[in-house]
Amino acid sequence: MSFGTILFQLSKGLLVSVEIFVLTLVFSLPLGFIVAFGRMSKNPIIRTITKVYISIMRGTPLMLQLLVVYFGPNLLFGIRIGENYRFIAVIIAFSINYAAYFAEIYRSGIESMPVGQYEAAKMLGYNKAQTFFLIILPQVIKRILPSVTNEIITLVKDTSLSFAIAQAEMFTTAKQISAAQTSIMPLMAAGVFYYIFNAIVAWGMERVEKAFSYYR
């Protein structure tokens, strides 16, 4: 297998990694808000359920969660799973796991807001939705961006965990080629790809942070 072919195979795998990355963010970023609100709910039942959920998601390995999501339906309920469930399982497992982390970041951001901002909004007649979306949320986003960036960079590397259920993304591909060719090179090349991927993500997030730097 020529170097060019290897790079081509890895690139195909990279596309799947990017897909996992993007889809996970699309689902987990909003889902995190729902979990965060559940965690801050006045209702003790909702609060406890979300607390347990977060603690399980953070307290057990993501790889294990991935295996449970993928094999669980069949082993627990005897549901026959098709080949296309593999990718879906990856997205589900990653989304519910990252939602828990994002939820805690959102919560810390929301709870760090000074109560004076809510009071000022109330005095000016903003309703609750306006207060949250116009006054609180933009400031929360600015505050939590560095933590979110951290999670997103971790996610880029975590996509490689899909290897555990043989999802053909970049890491799985690299490992297969490496084993077939008895060469370390494909793994090194994959490492470079991950590094570049993250450099781009970090650059993008820096731009977003800059966009929020017009005020302090």
134 touches another protein (CB under 8 A): yes
Q: How far apart are CA 37 and CA 197, in angstroms?
A: 32
CA–CA separation, 36 and 151 (whole Å): 16
Give CB contacts under 8 A, 24+ apart, made by 112-116. 112/140, 112/143, 113/139, 113/140
Give min distance, CB of 214 to another protein, in A.
Answer: 7
DSSP state of 159: G
**Cβ proximity to another protein, 78 vs 114, nearer residue:** 114
With binding defined as CB under 8 A, does residue 142 bind another protein?
yes
Q: Looking at 1, 34, 120, 211, which residue binds another protein (CB under 8 A)? A: 120
User: Closest approach of Cβ 212 to another protein, in Å?
Assistant: 8
Give the length of the chain. 216
Smallest distance, another protein to C-beta of residue 126, A? 6
Distance, CA of 101 to CA of 47 (rounded, Å) = 16
- Using CB under 8 A, which of 11, 130, 150, 181 touches another protein? 130
> Does 126 interact with another protein (rule: CB under 8 A)?
yes
The single residue among 124, 185, 192, 199 that binds another protein, judged by CB under 8 A, is 124
Number of residues this chain uses to bind another protein (CB under 8 A): 19
Question: Is there a contact between 86 and 70 (Cβ–Cβ < 8 Å)?
Answer: yes
Closest by alpha carbon to 170, among 67, 19, 63?
A: 19
Could you say whether residue 139 binds another protein (CB under 8 A)?
yes
Task: Collect all residues with Cβ–Cβ distance below 8 Å to 18 and sequence separation of at least 6.
Answer: 197
Q: Which stretch binds another protein (CB under 8 A): 63-71, 134-142, 153-161, 191-199?
A: 134-142
Binding residues vs another protein (CB under 8 A): 114, 116-117, 119-120, 122-126, 130, 134-135, 138-139, 142, 214-216
